[in-house]
Amino acid sequence: MAGTVVVFDFDGTIIDCDSDYWVVDGLGATEIFERLLPTMPFNTLMDSMMKEIHEQGRSVEEVAHILKSAPLDPHITAVIKSAHALGCELRIVSDANSFFIETILQHHGILSFFSEIHTNPSYVDGEGRLRISPYHNFAESSHGCCSCPPNMCKSLILKRVRASAAADGKKRFIYLGDGKGDYCSSLQLTEHDFVMPRKRFPLSELISGNPLLLKAQVHEWTDGEEQARVLLRLINQCSSADDGSRHQPALDYVSLTALSDPNGFKKKYLS
């Protein structure tokens, strides 16, 4: 699997919610959020919300506590570990922010399995307030994509990821996502790649509505268990294509126990 790169979206793909809304609702700031939502770009809004929350006396530690309760299916935790153990390079491309993502992944013990996280940068300032910045500084210049929010075009990120992977000899990509912002990046995939949209979510609907624009093979999923089964099957398919093997293990019936033991999984299904 040395030639396979697996790229995950985060909100709605790794976790089963939107981390921004999860924090806002969890800290009781929904009313302020909804009032400000029509007035500014979403990324700017989240930075403003952290200011509002800080002025209400809520700490960064409270934000982290809320994040740690975000729903993450154990099948997804297990498949991330298994994919890494099988030799895949794992990356995240997300319009969330680094504090939210790293806090959640660290809590579940899977942060170290990702070689790179492409997201909006964030930091805690001298006053203890969480600051969230745009990935692309749209105040200085536009990224030039009319389909994506001003702070981030995932397509441009994936172009750079592909160029870097190609330099390292990586051949195939598997891209998992659910939102509208994942569609632009999916168009960067080739006929040798796979895209895994979440069923009945915006990415799936956009692909269904524009099937001729996408080159990658499409494999949908509904929940964490199905995501794990499909992803492992595709990883095996990539491996078989790379080494010429015709062996196709029955990955559709992998149990959570097998997924939680990546070495045992590799021995049982891919030997």
Choose the catalytic residue: 11, 73, 182, 193: 11
Are 240 and 32 in contact, with CB atoms under 8 Å apart? no
Strands 122-124 and 130-132 come out as antiparallel
| Residue 9 is labelled as binding a ligand | yes
Which residues does 63 contact at the CB level (< 8 Å), separation at least 6? 23, 27, 50, 53, 99, 130
Are 49 and 21 in contact, with CB atoms under 8 Å apart? no
Give the C-alpha separation, 86 to 88, whole Å: 6
Return mean pLDDT, the chain. Answer: 89
| Residue 178 is labelled as binding a ligand | yes
pLDDT tens digits along 254-266 = 444 455 555 554 4
**Spatial strand order in the sheet of 116-120:** 116-120, 89-97, 4-8, 172-177, 194-197, 217-218
Which residues does 84 contact at the CB level (< 8 Å), separation at least 6? 90, 113, 262
Residue 37 buriedness (CB in 10 A; 0-12 / 13-18 / 19+): exposed
| Residue 73 is labelled as binding a ligand | no
Are 198 and 177 in contact, with CB atoms under 8 Å apart? yes
| Residue 20 is labelled as binding a ligand | yes
User: 4-16+72-96+104-117+144-269: which CATH topology?
Assistant: Rossmann fold (3.40.50)
| Residue 168 is labelled as binding a ligand | no
Backbone angles phi, psi at 129, to 5 degrees: -95, 135
Report residue 121 as tokens. Answer: 């940068």
Report residue 115 as tokens. Answer: 């070689």
pLDDT tens digits along 75-118 = 999 999 999 999 999 999 999 999 999 999 999 999 999 999 99
Catalytic status, residue 11: yes
| Amino acid at position 197, single letter | P
pLDDT tens digits along 167-217 = 777 679 999 999 999 999 999 999 999 999 999 999 999 999 987 789 999
pLDDT tens digits along 245-254 = 444 443 443 4
pTM of the model: 0.89
Residue whose C-alpha is closest to residue 213's, from 179, 245, 185, 243: 185
Give the C-alpha separation, 189 to 107, whole Å: 32
**Per-state percent for the chain, helix, strand, coil, to nearest 5:** 50, 15, 35
Report residue 166 as tokens. Answer: 């190609």
Q: Any idea what DSSP says for residue 70? A: S
pLDDT at 108: 98
Q: How many helices (H) and strands (E) does the chain have?
A: 12, 8
pLDDT at 189: 95
Report residue 57 as tokens. Answer: 């006396």
Q: How far is CA 179 from the centre of its chain?
A: 10
Are 4 and 89 in contact, with CB atoms under 8 Å apart? yes
